[in-house]
Structure 1
């Protein structure tokens, strides 16, 4: 029983993080105007091909949020989010004050945790036979 509970304990990270990723990206997924606003925002930071970068980031967050909630391909979703938020922090949030930087830091740290500790498909624990 304890093992079963531990196996699914990561849901208390996956659930809120997944919800936040979906909530934060859904407006761009379902609105061309919002996606263009995000692309324009990225262009202000001299991102190459800002519309392509906007689509990649938004759809990655939306899909990975769904995968986190469903508990599917967690390691791969977490790896994608690690890359996404390292880039986001490095390009956009580096000069932000801490309160503005905090959500991106939490998404990065949560993704690192899920990559290393999740019991979902292809998790680090399964690969180490723990």
Structure 2
């Protein structure tokens, strides 16, 4: 009886859906990163606007940093959706948006920080938790464990 009450209060059965929740969070984050970066990739004029934006905020080497940032966001978006290199892309995303908070949003109020701050923390979440079950990373890890186990149990001839 006590266990059922605790489960009800803490909603512990929902933990079974943790991998699905992580998958959905990765997908919506990835879709947002693709959406916000794709126009700079397909339009030289939009990329030029972004370079000017970075110049305005005194970024080092804006002609290099603009495409680097845009392409990393785009690649991270794809990687998050399919769950490939999730931890690495999480670290890169966190770094990219921590820099954005520091260089662009620092003088703004908390609401101005919010979008970049959330993306920084989502990056840290993906870097620490990994992609969950529904990801290419998990499939690759599972295959590697299987191959390692087969190698370790194979007879030595």
For Structure 1 versus Structure 2, the TM-score category normalised by the shorter chain is 0.7 to 0.9
Q: How many Å apart are 1:94 and its aligned residue?
A: 0.8
Secondary structure of 2:21's counterpart equals coil
Structure holding more helix per residue: 2
CA RMSD of aligned residues (A): 2.1
Give 1:73's match in structure 2, choosing from 85, 88, 102: 85
Uncovered stretches (5+) of structure 1, i.e. residues with no partner: none
Residue of structure 2 in register with 1:35 after alignment: 47
Structure whose alpha-carbon radius of gyration is higher = 2
Name the TM-score, length of structure 2 as normaliser.
Answer: 0.71
Check if 1:11 corresponds to 2:23: yes
Q: How many Å apart are 1:7 and its aligned residue?
A: 3.6
What CA distance in whole angstroms lies between the structure 1 residues aligned with 2:85 and 2:16?
Answer: 19
Name the TM-score, length of structure 1 as normaliser.
Answer: 0.85
Q: How many Å apart are 1:3 and its aligned residue?
A: 8.9
After TM superposition, the structure 1 = structure 2 runs for residues 46-65 of structure 1, keeping only pairs within 5 Å, are: 46-65=58-77
Residue of structure 1 in register with 2:9 after alignment: none
